[in-house]
Amino acid sequence: MKKVVILGGGGGGAILANLLPREEFQVTVVDKSPLHFFQPGNLWIAFKGVKKEKFLRPLRELLKPHVNFVQDEVVEVDLQNRSVKTRNGKQLGYDYVVFATGAELDYDALPGHRKLLETYGDFYSSPENAEKLYKTLLGMNSGRFVIAVADPIYKCPPGPHKGTFLSWELFSKRGLSDKVKVVLAVPVPHAYPSKTIADIIEPELNARGIELHTFFTANEIDLDNKKIISLEGEELSFDVATVIPPHRGPSYSVTPESVKDGNGYIKIDKYTSKVEGFDDAFAIGDCTNAPTSKSGVTAHLQAEVVAARLQGIDAKYSGRTNCPLITDGKGLFIISDYDHPPIPVRFSKFKRLMEDFFVATYWSAIRYPEFWSPVFKAYFEATDEMIRKGEGW
C-alpha cells in the first residue's frame, strides 16, 4: 500500500483522493476547513442572493469512507525527508505528496484594499463576503458599481466578466439599468486577454451599456474619495467597488524553497504535474505555476492525470480549459489548451444549460468521479477535436 498525502480537499484534492483505488493506496487528505466550498457559488451568492449553504458541504461526507481526513493546517512540507507538518503538531510521512491547497488572495498588497473588502464584500474571498456584497448591491439605487482587477493572474479568468454581467442583470431586474452604471476595468488591452473572446464579449457589454476600461491595473484604493487608481495612472470613481486581488501560491514553508516560483506557486512539469526535481511530489490546481487558467477544470483534469500516473499510466494534461462565462440567459465556454489559443465560441442558451447541469452534478462528481469520468472524457475529446480542427462552437 502506497501512502499518499494530499494537501487540500478542494476540487482537485477531493477528486484525486476519491479516484485512487483503495486496494493500492492509503490516502490522507489534509485541509484546515471541515467544509468544502464550491467556489463558483460566490457568483450566485453575490449576484443572485442564493444562500451560501447551498455551496458548502462537509468535506468528510464528500470523501469516500476509506479516505483519511485530517482537519488541520499545513505549516511545513519537507520534500527531502518526505514529511508534512501541521499546525497542531501532526507529522505525516508519505510515499507521495500532492499539493492541492489552492491560491492565496492578498488583500494587503494594494493600499486600501482590505478596507474596501470589509466595507462592501466581494465575490472572490469567501461566501460570507459574497453575502455581504449581495446586501451592498441590494442597497444600491444609483451610482457606479466598479469591478476591477489588480493583477492579470487570478483564478477563473472570466470571473470579473461574470460578475459584470450578473450584476447588470441584478440591477436591470430591479429596474435600475438607467440609474446604476456597471463598470469593468481590466489590466489587458481588450475586454478579455484573448482577442477572439474579447470580440465576442464586447458587443454584449456595449448592448447593456456597461462601461469598459482596458489597460487598467488596479493599484490603490482611495475609499474616502471613492476612487481606484491604476498603475497606468488612471482613476476610476465608484459608489461601490470590488477589486480582484493579486494571487499567490501557498505561504506555508516548503523545503527546498526552490520549488516555489517568485509568486510562491509550486513549480511543476506542466504536463505531468510532477513537482520540479521530485519523483514523489505532485501539485495540482491553483497552487501551481502551470501556464494555463487557474480553474476548477484545470484542477479536475490534473487530478485525473496524477491519479493515472500514480498507477503507472503515462497520462498528460494538455492545458485544456473550459471556463464558463455566463450572462444568466446565455453562456459560453473558453476552450483552449497549452498549444492553442481559445477557439471562437458563441453565447448560447444550450451552453448556459450545460453550465447549470454541471453545477447540479458537482457534488456527485466530487464524490464519484469515476462515474462522471466517461461523460467528461467524451465532452473533452469532442471539444479537443474542435480545437485541433480550428473550429468554433
Partner 1 sequence: METILTQERREALEKFLDMLVKMNELGLLDTIRDLPDPEFIGRLSELLMTPGTLKLLDHIDDLLDLAGSIDVEAIKGNMPLIKAALEALSREPKPVGITGLMRAMSDPDVQKGLGLMVELLKAIGKTKTK
CB atoms within 10 A of CB 281: 22
Q: Is residue 360 at the binding interface for partner 1, with CB under 8 A as the rule?
A: no
Part of the chain binding partner 1 (CB under 8 A), chosen from 44-52, 146-154, 222-230, 366-374? 366-374
Cell of 143: 451610482
Query: Where do the H-state alpha helices sit in the chain?
Result: 11-19, 41-48, 59-62, 113-120, 127-138, 159-173, 195-207, 296-310, 349-367, 369-389
Rule CB under 8 A: say whether 346 interacts with partner 1: yes
Residue closer to partner 1 by CB (options 164, 336) is 336
Contact status: 378 vs partner 1 (CB under 8 A)? yes
363 belongs to the binding site for partner 1 (CB under 8 A): no
The yes or no reply on residue 371 touching partner 1 (CB under 8 A) is: yes
Residue 216, classed as helix, strand or coil, is: coil
Nearer to partner 1, 251 or 371 (CB): 371
Cα 75 to Cα 70: distance, rounded to the nearest angstrom:
13
Q: Least Å distance between CB 309 and partner 1?
A: 20
Residue 349 lies near partner 1 (rule: CB under 8 A): yes
Query: Does 138 help bind partner 1 (rule: CB under 8 A)?
Result: no
Residue 279 CA to residue 62 CA, distance in Å, equals: 28
Nearer to partner 1, 87 or 357 (CB): 357
Binding residue count for partner 1, defined by CB under 8 A: 21
Q: How far is the CB of 193 from partner 1 (least distance, A)?
A: 24
CB 326 within 8 A of CB 166: yes
Cα 326 from Cα 78, distance rounded (Å): 41
Of 199 and 370, the one with the shorter C-beta distance to partner 1 is 370
Q: Does 322 bind partner 1 (CB under 8 A)?
A: no
Does residue 389 bind partner 1 (CB under 8 A)?
yes
Q: Is 318 in the site for partner 1 (CB under 8 A)?
A: no
Rounded CA gap, 101 and 271, in Å? 19
Position among 164, 293, 351, 355 found at the interface with partner 1 (CB under 8 A)? 351
**393 touches partner 1 (CB under 8 A):** yes
Using CB under 8 A as the binding rule, whether residue 382 contacts partner 1 is answered as yes
CB nearer to partner 1: give 272 or 348. Answer: 348
HEC per residue, 285-341: HHHECCCCCECHHHHHHHHHHHHHHHCCCCCCCCCCCCEEEECCCCEEEECCECCEC
Per the CB < 8 A criterion, the answer to whether 179 and 319 are in contact is: no
CB of 308 to partner 1, least distance (A): 15
DSSP state of 246: P
Q: Give the interface with partner 1 as residue ranges (CB under 8 A).
A: 346, 348-351, 370-371, 373-375, 377-379, 381-383, 385-386, 389, 391, 393
